Chain A
Amino acid sequence: MDWGAIVLSAQLALATLIVLLPLALAVARWLAVTSFNGKAWIEGLLALPLVLPPTVLGYYLLVALGGNSALGQWFAALFGQTLAFSFTGLVIASVVFNIPFAVQPIQRAFEAIPQDVREAAQCCGLTFRQAFLRIELPLAWPGILSAAVMTFAHTLGEFGVVLMVGGNIPGETQTVAIAIYDRTQAFDHAGAGAMSLLLLIVSLVTIAVSYGLVERLMKRRRAA
């Protein structure tokens, strides 16, 4: 069992959540309440990681983060290391490929808030901030929880993009999914098996628990 890879995966998943969730909340809320020409293109762009092969996404991220890109050069000048093949680069890549997993459930949750409920909040004299915190956020909570869980579990399991962008540097970019591949290549079936089982159990438990929570929350809301 490669505990270093497991810890790294958990750190990556957490870092991704911390960066992505606030962004996803803002974008999803905005998409849920506005309509404009070209909205489908933006939604399509955000959903791309669902359909693109991880290698394609990984390739473009590698180009964008690599030493020849403006972003890569700026980062190298600032921190003395390249973005690609670093933990920071991995977090950026992870944020990008998790966008649909975070945005879509939150957007659906905000869309599900009836217009008359939103308007009632305004008629009650609430400011945007008050309405968001007291009305919309509690109502969208199941969707936000789903988004967080999906992002977390998906990051734990992502393989292709991580390999393309992060390579396979133990302690820096070797996540548990990569470590499993590594172990299998080295015919260490015991190690690969143990880590696979752990990943399986953790994923199942997180998703089942979140589904259960969401179900309970929704039941409390239903027929309101």
Chain B
Amino acid sequence: MTLILDLVHDAPALDFRSEIPEGQITALVGPSGSGKTSILRAVAGLLRTKQAHVALGGDIWDDASTHLPTRERPIGFVPQQYGLFPHLTASGNVGVALMHLPSAERLARAEECLALAHVAGLENRYPRELSGGQKQRVALARAIARAPKLLLLDEPFSAVDRSTRKRLYLELRRLHEQLRTTVLLVTHDLDEAAQLASHLILLHHGRLLQTGPTGEVLRRPRSVAAARLLDFPNLFDGHLDAAPPGRKALLRWGPHTLRANAGDTPSGSVRWAIQSGDVLLVAPDKPWGGHLQNPVAARVSEVLELGMDALVWLEPEGLPATRLQMRLPARTLERHRVAVGAALTVCLRPGDIMLLADSGRR
């Protein structure tokens, strides 16, 4: 039962179409103000958009003539601040979602859900007596209590500290393994999306920018806007020559000619991107040979150590105004004599060069 979404709205601006795969965790990722939460609220029926088509499997929740009230939608919702009922205990909070059960069963089911969410033993605590992580777990227990077909999580980890968050990631993944519910998770944190979600939807100004399996989207932006959202530091102009059949296309970048996988990118002026981790340093003692793909000679213009990693900015030969960012383990700096002013060679593998669809220049 795929969740089908088609939402159009003015304030906040939305023009969003997507399908959320069944039984998977899908992350809706975008900067703040991109409309993520509004989409989640529209799915829950809490926001009525100008135009809406929301359907789960064959059940239509929203269209021109239908608006299923929130309480009748088979959803569980964990809002950003959890929305716990302050006058009820943890088990009372979960029990509210179980009003359809007789009261004896209600208590048993509430305890079962609290245990699933790893807060067994805290049944009689009030929300004010719970830590951030515990509140989040109680809210999750309440959200799964009615065995929803769709679980909506709105930045559920934003209000807890880092170590708690890591534990909660594991718990959510394990819970999902058990329940196999379709989950739509809103986050602005790419790392969070990468750790939790199998599918990713990139959102920008209320529009879907790119969607697909998480690893694929994170590594392969298809547009400049997506590359910016995915934090690709290296975004350059080039010129793509038409590829002869069965051969790699040639990307001209200043004096350099790089082989690239053109796919269906048309020849001509093009923007391209590469992750800093994919800029590979060629060890100076390594013999040159055919195995080196797209070697580029460059000079180091800046080195910054950030904990275990080091960021190195390079000025490629013949491209004086260009800064190519390379990320490598800090411990390798000395071994490879990477310092400001040093000349070195990097290689940019064709598979790591992302040709971007739109010019996207501002």
Which residue in A117, A119, A126, A138 is a CB contact (below 8 Å) of B46? A119
Complex partner residue of B142 from A124, A135, A223, CB under 8 angstroms: A124
Specify the chain B residue showing the minimal Cβ separation from A138. Answer: B87
Nearest CB in chain A: distance from B186 CB, A: 14
Instruction: Say yes or no: is A38 at the interface (Cβ < 8 Å to chain B).
Output: no
Partner of A125, one of B79, B126, B146: B146
Chain B 66-122 residues near chain A, CB threshold 8 A: 69-72, 75-77, 79-87, 96-97, 99-100
Residue of B nearest to A118 (CB): B83
- Which of chain B's residues have a CB closer than 8 A to the CB of A121? 85, 96
Report if A120-B70 is in contact (Cβ < 8 Å); known contacts: A125-B99, A224-B126, A224-B128. no
Residues of B close to A116: CB separation below 8 A? 79-83
Measured in the bound complex, the distance between the Cα atoms of B207 and A137 in whole Å is 40
Say yes or no: B79 contacts A120, CB within 8 Å: yes
A134-B128 in contact (CB<8A)? no
Q: Within 8 Å of chain A (Cβ to Cβ): is B262? A: no
Q: Does B44 contact A (CB under 8 A)?
A: yes
- Neighbouring B residues of A139 by C-beta, 8 Å: 85-87
Cα(A224)–Cα(B90), bound, Å: 11
B83 surroundings in chain A (CB, below 8 A): 114, 116-117, 119-120
> Which residues in A have their C-beta under 8 angstroms from that of B133?
none
A-B contact count (CB 8 A): 77
Closest B residue to A127 by beta carbon equals B71
B-contact bits for A104-125, CB 8 A (1 contact / 0 none): 0000000000101101111111
B79 — which chain A residues lie within 8 A by C-beta? Answer: 116, 119-120
Interface SS of chain B: loop
Q: How distant is the Cα of A114 from the Cα of B80 in the complex, in angstroms?
A: 12
Does any Cβ of A come within 8 Å of B35's Cβ?
no
A214 CB → nearest B CB, Å: 14
Contacts of B75 in A (CB 8 A): 123
Known: A119-B46, A224-B127. A134 touches B84 (CB 8 A): no
CB closest chain-A residue, reference B126: A224
A130 adjacent to chain B (CB < 8 Å): yes
Cβ contact within 8 Å between A120 and B77? yes
**Contact call B70/A122, Cβ cutoff below 8 A:** yes
Name A221's contact: one of B69, B87, B142, B145 (CB within 8 Å): B87
Taken together as a complex, chains A and B put the C-alpha atoms of A224 and B45 apart, in Å, by 26
**In chain A, what residue has the closest Cβ to B44?**
A123
**Residue among B86, B128, B145 making CB contact with A117, cutoff 8 Å:** B86
A117 to B115, CA, bound (A): 23
| Most B-side CB within 10 Å, residue of A116, A122, A125, A138 | A125
Task: Report B-chain residues with C-beta under 8 Å of the C-beta of A221.
Answer: 86-87, 128
Indicate if the CB atoms of A222 and B128 lie closer than 8 Å: yes
Give residues 73-132 of A contacting B (CB, 8 Å). 114, 116-117, 119-127, 130
What is the distance, in angstroms, from B127's C-beta to the closest C-beta of chain A?
A: 4
Q: Are B84 and A224 in contact (CB under 8 A)?
A: yes
Set of chain A residues within 8 Å of B86, measured between Cβ atoms: 117, 139, 221, 224
Distance, CA A59 to CA B146, complexed state (A): 58
Chain B residue at smallest Cβ distance from A134: B96
Interface string of A12-30 (1 = CB under 8 A from B): 0000000000000000000
Per-residue CB contact flags for chain B residues 33-47 toward chain A (1 = under 8 Å, else 0) read 000000000001110
- The 6 residue pairs across chains A and B that have the minimum distance between CB atoms: A224-B86, A116-B83, A120-B83, A124-B97, A122-B70, A123-B77
On B, residues with C-beta under 8 Å from A are 44-46, 69-72, 75-77, 79-87, 96-97, 99-100, 126-128, 142-143, 145-146
Q: Which residues of A contact B (CB under 8 A)?
A: 114, 116-117, 119-127, 130, 134-135, 138-139, 220-224
What are 22 of the A-B contact pairs (CB < 8 Å)?
Answer: A116-B80, A117-B86, A119-B83, A120-B84, A121-B96, A122-B46, A123-B44, A123-B71, A123-B76, A123-B97, A124-B97, A124-B99, A125-B100, A125-B146, A134-B96, A135-B96, A139-B85, A220-B87, A221-B87, A221-B128, A222-B128, A224-B86
